[in-house]
Amino acid sequence: MSRILLLLPALASLLLTACQPALEPGPRVEFVGSSRYNTSNRRLTTPGDTVANNVYAKADGSPLTRLRITVDYEPVPEPVIYDPLQDPPNRTFTYLDLALPASAREEFAFQSVQPTRTTAGLEVWNYTFTDAEGRTGVRSLRLRLGRADSAAAYHSYTVTVQAPGPKRRRFLALREGLVLPDFSVIDLPQNQPLIDLVYAPQAGTAAPTFATPADDALGLSWLNPRRTLIRSTTLTAADFTATSTPAALTTAFTNGSAFLTRPTSTGVLQEGQVIAFQTPEEKYGLLLVQTIVSTGIRSVVVQVRVSK
């Protein structure tokens, strides 16, 4: 009995240390909550929804130097055909890698509206601050999406693509359904091969157009732009809804025609317009221009169907 009593203080000390990571030196990181900003794990109900976050860090004896935001996707964010004998792969994606300015070395807050997955699964967002001594402080959010149609032969979702601007989401990855801002794409070249379409306002009128990264008018100097093909169609919104098999998606692309101005640009978009596309992986799909928003933040709401 005396031996057990002697062990109890040491055991209590170990448990206390394990349960109190906040006592470790390094940046202090917290989520700031409000009616707009999310601070807790969530079960998502809408594919391609967005989540607004406000993360705050304070230095602890050493200046803050960097903020890095990563996402662990379980499984990968693009649609997969499930094999009952094999687990699908996972992927880690870097959303932001920011060197903090001198003015933010003692404390820093970062607000963003982040895209969520369109396929069923889990995503874990990790917000890591580093200080001048290499110590880190981390906070994480877990978001899970379930879909009743995961076994469908095609993948579908609705997302909003925004006109260029600070933190605006203007780069669209068609297979994943992710819409990303400049700092995730322009500043992180490893993410550029994901991008199929870019919101590009027409010169002079600012009317919305979509272009592929290979379009020379965009002026992108990417080493490996994604070579997605786009075609004009005469399909209507009703035709889009009725196209529900991989064969029909392929036929829609085959029957489409090159855009008149440039084959890499849609020209000015119109509500109800249906665009056919083929990804470099030879996945065929359709994009419906559902709504064009011309007030406030200019944006285009699109529906997408793409074969798995």
Q: Could you tell me the residue ranges of all domains in the chain? A: 26-148, 152-308
Domain 26-148 has CATH 1.10.287.130: no
How many CB atoms lie under 10 A from the CB of residue 43? Answer: 9
Q: What phi, psi does 32 have (nearest 5°)?
A: -100, 120
Tens digit of each residue's pLDDT (9 = 90 or more) over 236-284: 999 999 999 999 999 999 999 999 989 999 999 999 999 999 999 999 9
Cα 56 to Cα 250: distance, rounded to the nearest angstrom: 47
Buried b (16+ CB within 10 A) or exposed e, 291-308: ebeeeeebbbebbbbbbb
> Do 166 and 113 touch, CB atoms closer than 8 A?
no
Looking up tokens 């793409």 gives 306
Tens digit of each residue's pLDDT (9 = 90 or more) over 68-91: 999 999 999 999 887 778 888 999
Residue 305 has which token pair? 């169907």
DSSP 217: G
Higher pLDDT, 253 or 166: 253
State the pLDDT confidence band at 111, using cuts at 50, 70 and 90.
very high
- The pLDDT score that the predictor gives to residue 24 is 73
Of residues 133, 135, 126, the one with CA closest to residue 55 = 126
- The pLDDT score that the predictor gives to residue 4 is 43
Residue 15 has which token pair? 């448990």
Residue 278 has which token pair? 């083929």
Q: How far is CA 185 from CA 97, 155, 157, 240, in A?
A: 11, 24, 21, 30
